[in-house]
Structure 1
Amino acid sequence: MSRSCLLLAVSLPLLLLALAACSPLTTLNALSPAGDTECVDGVAYGEGPRRKLDIYRPQGARSAAPVVVFFYGGNWVNGARGDYAFVGRALAARGIVTVIADYRLHPEVSYPDFLRDAAQAVAWARREAARYGGDPQRLFVMGHSAGAYNAAMLALDARWLKEQGMAPSELRGWIGLAGPYDFLPIENPTTKPVFHFPNTPRDSQPVHHVSRATPPALLIAARRDKLVAPERNTGQLAALLRAQQVPVRELYYDRVSHTTLVASVAAPLRWLAPTLDDVAAFVLTPGA
């Protein structure tokens, strides 16, 4: 057995034990050291405790790096920016200034208020990125699950960024991990009140906003996702984007689930899928 295989055989049971013993996200953060990155946390982009964000950047960053604004999932009812430090550290270690934003959740708000929060966070990044070593001309949005929906709606539906004096064309691209892009009629009982079901507006669905003006996309899904059907969501959206001649890269991974797709960004789980490599390549490609 090779040394790398031996290390994996020894460390994987310990990792699984740790994941079972406490919050999986807390464990991933604990096992994802900051390294040569730094974090500025708790910066307000609007009013109230849920309109704050954390900025992760390469240590001592002074040159203009690309900027990714990341939105986490949680079915629009839970989640916190601090739980996703492993995402910020991983991207910052690749030379990407990363903004992880909280947004208001149900029942405090419902559709479309969390999209307004997301757009406000992106507008903040556009204005302030240069202060943290970021290039506002190389701005991306990214999300996982419900957060991928948020990112998609900002990139596809111009209404939300327009309220902040921006347009989707100011985004260099967007990244969706296991996003729900077409989920009517709503079956999940938790999601129904978030989107006012059965009176959910048709235009709440990202698939109805595809146009040639949509920024380039990287769409990634778990091939056997049990929560968000990859064919209906990622596959359908990718096909619609291609029909409009929008550049899109569509990837499916075999060894991850809906939840471990984003977890594979963390150092201990990168053997599951090349998620970090593919995201970094999309963001850092010359001309991107």
Structure 2
Amino acid sequence: MKLKLFIIPLVCLLFFNCASRKIKDITYLTKTEKINDNKPTLNVFEPKKTTTDKNAVVIFVHGGYWKDGDKKTYGFLGRNFAKNDIVTVIPGYTLSPNANYDLMAKQIAQAVEWTKNNIDKYKGDPNQIYVMGHSAGGHLVALISTNPKYLKNKKDIKGVILNDAAGLDMKSYLEENAPTSKYHYDVTWTKNPENWKDASPIYFLNDETPPFLIYVGSKTYPSIMTSNSAFVEALKPYQPKLEKIILDKKHVPMMSHYFFPWVKRYDEIVNFINKTKI
């Protein structure tokens, strides 16, 4: 039994690795947005067997309390999306305490701009860009998709996929839990309440907000459950058909189960893309 549990994931890794071509560590930031010698890069996973050069694109942003995480961890996501003829872009970004939420969001916005300008070289359609994030990454993709100061053209994003996203209403959270040095929150969010609202996607929803697909774990952290529920209620007037899918999982398994290419999430995301693309 133990041998089977080891062999099955290994076979999946080998098989689905053949479905994609990985182009790694591409520089995407402008000089003004680099932090000293810290130069975040991105990886692209291009489907090998696709019959078109105009495939949908998913930009995935990792989580980690805005202070941890590495794009290299999520290669499985790129490989599995490639099986579904989706090009995947996975950017790294500068983490706290070397950056606050605003700089992180600006960097992710730059990743979107890079994708818009370059993804046709990797069989991607620049008019079919979707953003996806888990935990802190969910916050960042929601923020750049709603707060108008980040993207030159908000219509560059066709849809947003949140996977147990954190930070959707940091204003309310920080008013009750003042930021301290724990998790570097005093740096990430600053101690200025005006910035807390600026960092909260829930305050920027309107009829131009791109379509959302929202996943939440029924066993996730209470703050994530609360902010997602409030976010959904605030978004529903603009998106009556908004999809919120609750899964029987804790916070970390909400991401780790994507390792397996047969999970329903991939079909659900493909369906979401097909319903929202032009």
TM-score normalised by structure 1 residue count:
0.82
Gaps of 5+ in 1: 1-9, 19-27
Partner of 1:146: 136
Equivalent residue in structure 2 for 1:55, among 44, 49, 53: 44
Equivalent residue in structure 2 for 1:283, among 262, 265, 273: 273
2:106 partner SS: helix
- Say if 1:246 and 1:225 are closer, same or farther in 2 by CA, change over 3 A: same
- Say if 1:79 and 1:170 are closer, same or farther in 2 by CA, change over 3 A: same
Q: Does 1:225 align with 2:220?
A: yes
Equivalent residue in structure 2 for 1:157, among 147, 158, 170: 147
Equivalent residue in structure 2 for 1:68, among 52, 58, 64: 58
Q: Distance in 1 between matches of 2:240 and 2:126?
A: 22
Partner of 1:43: 26
Q: Give the CA RMSD over aligned residues.
A: 2.5
Deviations 1:126-166 (A, max 9, x none): 000101000001111110000000100111111011xxxx2
- Say if 1:11 and 1:171 are closer, same or farther in 2 by CA, change over 3 A: farther
Once the two structures are TM-superposed, the CA of residue 267 in structure 1 deviates from its matched residue by 1.4
Equivalenced residue count is 259
Equivalent residue in structure 1 for 2:13, among 24, 32, 50: 32
Partner of 2:161: 175
Partner of 2:260: 267
Q: Does 1:114 align with 2:95?
A: no
Q: Distance in 1 between matches of 2:2 and 2:25?
A: 33
Identity %: 23
Of the structure 1 ranges 184-193 and 214-223, higher mean CA displacement relative to structure 2 is found in 184-193
Partner of 1:132: 122
Partner of 1:85: 75
Q: Distance in 2 between matches of 1:103 and 1:264?
A: 23
Tell whether the 8 Å contact from 1:175 to 1:217 is kept in structure 2 after alignment: yes
Once the two structures are TM-superposed, the CA of residue 226 in structure 1 deviates from its matched residue by 2.4
Deviations 1:217-255 (A, max 9, x none): 10101012126432x22222122111124652111011x
Deviations 1:186-210 (A, max 9, x none): 3473152210136443221111111
Once the two structures are TM-superposed, the CA of residue 73 in structure 1 deviates from its matched residue by 0.1
Q: What is the identity, as a one-letter code, of the residue corresponding to 1:43?
A: I
Of the structure 1 ranges 43-52 and 169-178, higher mean CA displacement relative to structure 2 is found in 43-52
Tell whether the 8 Å contact from 1:182 to 1:207 is kept in structure 2 after alignment: yes
Partner of 2:92: 102
Counterparts of 1:4-15 in structure 2 under 5 Å? Answer: 10=1, 14=5
- Say if 1:128 and 1:202 are closer, same or farther in 2 by CA, change over 3 A: same
Gaps of 5+ in 2: none
